[in-house]
Amino acid sequence: MKKVTIRTLAKMKREQTPIAMITAYDYPSAVLVEEAGADVVLVGDSLGMVVLGYDSTIPVTLADMIHHTKAVTRGAKRAMVIADLPFLVAHLSRDEVLKAAGKLMQEANAYGVKLEGGSEIIDQIRALVQAGVPVMAHLGLQPQSVNKLGGYLIQGKDPSSALHLIEEAKKVEEAGVFALVLECVPEELAGQIRDQLSIPVIGIGAGRDCDGQVLVFHDVLQIGGGDFQPSFVKTYADVGELIKQGIRSYVEEVKGHQFPAEEHVSHLSPETEQHLYG
Ligand code: KIV
Ligand code: NA
């Protein structure tokens, strides 16, 4: 079992081996994604939406992230486990950001952290990197800013915002991040950024010209959630339907007196029965 490190990912970029990253939020999902061969497991703050039932990532706390990251790192031993810094944390003082990353790495055993943003938090990124924290940046659509943006919209479509995004990507690379997640940007722009950076660029809704892809566990498997599915998501198995069928059969068998059946039942020995009931 060879652990995935930042050197593994850098080598994958150099050799053009695509990086497969997916989210997980608890022990069983971490075991499954690791056994399925994922290189990087993200404990995303998307957990607020797909696991905790909030309608954005904004309510997720550092305590939530620590709690779920602990469970994930108990399950994933080979894959690199990255934990999101939740809403606002990356904008706090250098000390506060270092403390938050420290908790995710020391208490919850994360390999490193991911944070949304570029030049506005460049000092915090530098402080983390200087302290030895592996930092993954996240640009393009930043879901923590959904209220400011007015929705989950594609970013970098016009020339000035496209150029701005390229500049931001270069700045976070200069600040020392080891990888960059690009969310919801046109394929051509993601390709440009991938070509201009020497760190791996991992896309979600960013097209094919990235060094890797990331998707949300519950989207890939269609578990829970509503009817809305962004167009960049591909569902690989309808596990939600399978779960529902399984639970429905259980409920029906309980109500129909079919479960438990003889093979699920234990009995008293004849001697004990004799002793008790004569
Ligand atoms: O929280 C998350 O799941 C993420 C990915 C979508 C990149 O940040
Ligand atoms: Na996130």
Q: Give residue-wise pLDDT tens across range 134-177.
A: 999 999 999 999 999 999 999 999 999 999 999 999 999 999 99
169 and 272 housed in the same domain: no
Picking from 116, 115, 213, the residue whose alpha carbon sits closest to that of residue 155 is: 116
- Average pLDDT of 21-25? 98
Residue to mutate, 45, 54, 113, 152, ligand 1, most ligand atoms under 8 Å from C-beta: 45
141 and 258 housed in the same domain: no
Burial 166-199 (b: 16+ CB within 10 A, else e): bebbebbbebbbbbbbbbbbbeebbbbbbeebeb
Cα of 278 from ligand 1 centre, angstroms: 66
If you search the block for the tokens 């879901």, which residue do you land on?
143
72 and 119 housed in the same domain: yes
246 and 186 housed in the same domain: no
The protein residue with its alpha carbon nearest to ligand 1, atom 5, reads 44
- pLDDT one-digit tens code per residue, 187-245: 999 999 999 999 999 999 999 999 999 999 999 999 986 667 889 999 999 999 999 99
Q: What whole-number distance in Å separates Cα of residue 11 and Cα of residue 220?
A: 27
25 and 162 housed in the same domain: yes
Q: Is the CB of 216 under 6 A from ligand 1?
A: yes
In a domain, 122, yes or no: yes
List the catalytic residue out of 183, 252, 253, 262: 183
What per-residue confidence (pLDDT) applies to 230?
87
Q: Which residues are annotated as a binding site for 3-methyl-2-oxobutanoate?
A: 45-46, 84, 114
In a domain, 20, yes or no: yes
Contact 118, 172 (CB under 8 A): yes
In a domain, 19, yes or no: yes
111 and 213 housed in the same domain: yes
233 and 253 housed in the same domain: no
Q: What whole-number distance in Å separates Cα of residue 179 and Cα of residue 253?
A: 50
The protein residue with its alpha carbon nearest to ligand 1, atom 4, reads 44
226 and 252 housed in the same domain: no
214 and 254 housed in the same domain: no
Q: How many domains does the chain have?
A: 2
Between 272 and 1, residue with greater pLDDT: 272
Which residue range(s) make up the domain with 17? 6-237
In a domain, 114, yes or no: yes
67 and 147 housed in the same domain: yes
Give the CATH number, domain containing residue 230: 3.20.20.60
- pLDDT one-digit tens code per residue, 105-131: 999 999 999 999 999 999 999 999 999
Q: Which ligand is nearest to the CA of 51?
A: 1
- Average pLDDT of 255-265? 98
In a domain, 1, yes or no: no
What per-residue confidence (pLDDT) applies to 225?
64
Q: Is the CB of 219 under 6 A from ligand 1?
A: no
In a domain, 231, yes or no: yes
- pLDDT one-digit tens code per residue, 29-61: 999 999 999 999 999 999 999 999 999 999 999
In a domain, 205, yes or no: yes
At 213 the three-state DSSP class reads strand
Q: Is the CB of 45 under 6 A from ligand 1?
A: yes
135 and 43 housed in the same domain: yes
Active site residue 173: no
DSSP class per residue in 60-112? --HHHHHHHHHHHHHH-SSSEEEEEPPTTGGGS-HHHHHHHHHIIIIIS--SE
Question: What confidence tier does 28 reach under pLDDT thresholds 50, 70, 90?
Answer: very high
Picking from 157, 265, 160, the residue whose alpha carbon sits closest to that of residue 206 is: 157
Picking from 65, 22, 72, the residue whose alpha carbon sits closest to that of residue 42 is: 22
pLDDT at residue 256 is higher than 80: yes
210 and 232 housed in the same domain: yes
Give the torsion sign (CA, 16, 17, 19, 20). positive
Alpha helices in 150-202 (DSSP H): 159-175, 187-196
Contact 206, 193 (CB under 8 A): no
Picking from 118, 115, 143, 133, the residue whose alpha carbon sits closest to that of residue 193 is: 118
